């Protein structure tokens, strides 16, 4: 009989012995375990697998685990439990601020690991979500960080891409000027609306068939912007 509590757990860690240990612990608790030894592979696996939880090491060979968190949180709310040898408070604070649900240091006990895993999944139940968002003839693949219009890839600046993803994550809802500026340019830029107008104009030129009368990237005068299908 299938275990109704069985979860898909993605382990992103470059240490083979840690992955082996985690597999023993997690499979012993009835979960399905998938592994990635680099951040790049982990992001691809996360997009394909849609795991119920990610267990993440910060010391990855190709990117810092905090960079993985930043990229992953652009499109997924799946709970992340950091499992790291870094004991410093600054490392913990940074990982939690970037969206990790909990932080456990190595070495660790099996009982505590499983308890923390249960806790983060209870607080943040997984909802399957695709990293791909489409509107009109535009497709955003947030796991690959690519944007295509029809068959052609569209090259966006980092700020244009961040603005597009922010609007896509709130599709159909107005995102205020202040919220956009705070999240993309920082808390000291909330009054710099001219930045926003320039970047929105560039986005419309690249993604709209008629930039002067856009169908998808709409303005709510005096309030903000919204993306609609």
Alpha helices in the chain (DSSP H): 16-28, 39-49, 65-72, 89-97, 110-123, 158-169, 177-184, 193-207
Each residue's pLDDT tens digit, 118-166 = 999 888 776 666 788 899 999 999 878 899 999 999 999 988 998 998 8
> Do 52 and 5 form a contact (C-beta atoms < 8 A)?
no
**Domain ranges in the chain?**
8-123, 157-227
Q: Is the pLDDT of residue 191 over 90?
A: no
Q: Which CATH class is domain 8-123?
A: alpha beta
Q: In angstroms, rounded to a whole number, what is the distance separating the alpha carbons of residues 40 and 17? A: 20
Mean pLDDT across 201-226: 94
Residue 229 pLDDT class (50, 70, 90 cuts): confident
Angle of helix 158-169 relative to helix 177-184, nearest 10 degrees, comes to 130
Higher pLDDT, 2 or 97: 97
Residue 1 pLDDT class (50, 70, 90 cuts): very low
Q: How many percent of the chain have pLDDT more than 90? A: 65
Q: How many percent of the chain have pLDDT more than 70? A: 96
State residue 140's pLDDT score. Answer: 92
Each residue's pLDDT tens digit, 39-49 = 999 998 988 88
Mean pLDDT across 64-77: 89
Q: Which CATH class is domain 157-227?
A: mainly alpha
Higher pLDDT, 191 or 167: 167
């Amino acid at each position: 009989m299938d275990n109704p509590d069985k979860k898909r757990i993605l382990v992103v860690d470059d240490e083979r012995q840690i992955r082996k240990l985690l597999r023993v612990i997690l499979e012993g608790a009835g979960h399905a375990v998938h592994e990635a030894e680099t951040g790049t592979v982990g992001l691809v696996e996360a997009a394909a697998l849609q795991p119920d939880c990610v267990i993440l090491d910060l010391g990855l060979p190709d990117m810092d685990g905090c960079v993985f968190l930043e990229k992953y949180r652009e499109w997924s709310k799946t709970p992340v439990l950091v499992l790291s040898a870094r004991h410093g408070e600054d490392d913990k604070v940074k990982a939690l601020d970037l969206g990790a649900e909990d932080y456990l240091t190595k070495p660790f006990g099996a009982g505590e690991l499983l308890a923390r895993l249960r806790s983060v999944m209870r607080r943040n139940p997984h909802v399957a979500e695709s990293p791909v968002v489409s509107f009109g003839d535009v497709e955003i693949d947030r796991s690959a960080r690519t944007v295509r219009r029809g068959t052609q890839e569209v090259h966006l600046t980092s700020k244009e891409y961040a603005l597009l993803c922010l609007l896509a994550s709130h599709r159909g809802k107005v995102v205020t000027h202040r919220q956009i500026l705070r999240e993309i340019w920082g808390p000291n830029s909330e009054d710099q609306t001219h930045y926003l107008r320039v970047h929105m104009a560039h986005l419309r030129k690249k993604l709209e068939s008629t930039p002067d009368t856009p169908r998808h990237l709409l303005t709510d005068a005096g309030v903000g912007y919204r993306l609609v299908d």
